[in-house]
Each structure stands twice: as structure tokens, then as C-alpha cells.
Chain A
């Protein structure tokens, strides 16, 4: 079954600095990869996805992520973090065949320091 690892519990970054949230995955077959963000007392908001094509995908709010098949990674990045980016970020993976369940990582709390 598919699984996701988000190795860091919390990511602290100064406002204006680059932000990176790490994600590695395990799946049989080709992966479908997603990033979601959760603000306090809110549901999940979709940020971006990789299904096929260009390894660098761009999403909402200036975020992007790069699919690296050899490293089985899908790290989320933003060139210049904003205080409003402080939230909980989840990486998720689904498989292109077989079990189509969406497996989530444990989430990373991002804290952007003014």
C-alpha cells in the first residue's frame, strides 16, 4: 500500500526566506502526488498535484513542488515565505493502479516568523 513520509514535525522560516517542506513517498506503480494546506479550524485546501508531465508543478499561493522519481520525493517549495503561510501542510499519494486510496503524511507545521 502507498505511504508518505514527512520527516519534520515543524518547519520554522523567517518571512521572506525560501520555504521547503519535505515529502517522500512509497507506491506501487506510478504515483499521483498532492499537497494540501490546513489553516486553523479549517478543512483541507488543495495546493497542487503531480499526475504526469513536467516534474515541476506550480500551484496556488506561489507554491511549487518538484517530482523526483529517483529519490521518490515531492518537496513543496516557495521562494519567499509570508507570515500568512503559517499552517499545517500535508503531502498525499495515490497509485495509478491497484489500491487507489489517498494516503496522507503526518503533516508539517510551518511557522513563518515575521
Chain B
């Protein structure tokens, strides 16, 4: 299965600043996903990123707050903009290595633990 490198692994940021999280995959994948895991909670899908098109955001998430880039089939970034303490979460990227788009063994990165102070 695909191997994902995600960085940074953790960061402490000042409110009002922005952080860009990178996700690098060792193989070409069609679909990449960004999730948020708030403290003590489950994973919530932020958006789906396909190469060559705008990301598709889930309800409650907007591009101005979470801009996403997908410049090629192995790389994506998620930016958390104008951060507030409520943005403190673990952010994970995920890929669908079989390109089935049906959850065939989604693979996850190790996550970015973000603390906003």
C-alpha cells in the first residue's frame, strides 16, 4: 500500500497565523483527503483533493480557512489560516491508493498535531 510522509509532525502556533501541512505519497494516487481530529473526538473529513481540480469541501469547512493545493499526483498541502485555539487538532492526510473512490483501504499519514496558543 501507499506510504505517506506528513509534516510537520507537530507545531505550536500563535493565534492569527497560518500553518501549511504537507503530505507526500510514494506513489501516484488519484484522490487525497484531509481530516481533522479534534481532542478526544473522531475524524472529520475536511475536503477531498484531486489533482487538476479545486478541492471539494465538506459542510462546515471553507476554502478561505483551509486552502488546499494538489499540484501533482503525489503531493498535497493543507493550510490552516488565521488560526484560533479552536483549530487545535490533529490533521491527517489520507489517500485512496486503488483509486476506487469507495474507501478501499484508505491509508493515513502520521498526522500533524497542531496547538494554537
B-facing mask of A63-78, CB < 8 A → 1, else 0?
A: 0000000000000000
Q: A43-B111, A44-B108 are in contact. Are A106 and B102 (CB under 8 A)?
A: no
Are A104 and B42 closer than 8 Å at their CB atoms? Answer: yes
Q: Which of B42, B101, B108 has the most CB of A within 10 A?
A: B42
Q: A49-B105, A100-B103 are in contact. Are A90 and B1 (CB under 8 A)?
A: no
Closest chain-A Cβ to B26's Cβ sits at a distance in Å of 15
Residues on B with beta carbons closer than 8 Å to the beta carbon of A46: 1, 105-108
Closest to A93 in B: B103
In the bound complex, what is the Cα–Cα distance between A101 and B105 (angstroms)? 13
Residues on B with beta carbons closer than 8 Å to the beta carbon of A104: 42-44
In the bound complex, what is the Cα–Cα distance between A32 and B106 (angstroms)? 11
Are A100 and B105 closer than 8 Å at their CB atoms? Answer: no
B76 lies within 8 A of chain A by Cβ = no
Are B101 and A106 closer than 8 Å at their CB atoms? Answer: no
B6 lies within 8 A of chain A by Cβ = yes
Residues on A with beta carbons closer than 8 Å to the beta carbon of B106: 34, 46, 102
CB < 8 Å neighbour of A106 from B41, B92, B105, B109:
B41
CB < 8 Å neighbour of B102 from A92, A94, A107:
A94
A-facing mask of B82-117, CB < 8 A → 1, else 0?
A: 000000000010100000011111111111010000
Total contacting residues, chain A, CB less than 8 A? 24
User: Interface size class for chain B?
Assistant: 20 to 34
In the bound complex, what is the Cα–Cα distance between A105 and B42 (angstroms)? 6
B45 lies within 8 A of chain A by Cβ = yes
CB < 8 Å neighbour of B103 from A41, A45, A94:
A94
Are B104 and A51 closer than 8 Å at their CB atoms? Answer: yes
Closest to B92 in A: A43
Are B111 and A42 closer than 8 Å at their CB atoms? Answer: yes
CB < 8 Å neighbour of B42 from A32, A34, A100, A107:
A107
A96 lies within 8 A of chain B by Cβ = yes
Closest to B44 in A: A104
**Which chain B residues have a beta carbon within 8 Å of chain A's beta carbons?**
1, 6, 33, 41-45, 58, 92, 94, 101-111, 113
**Which chain A residues have a beta carbon within 8 Å of chain B's beta carbons?**
32, 34, 36, 41-46, 49, 51, 90, 92-96, 100-102, 104-107
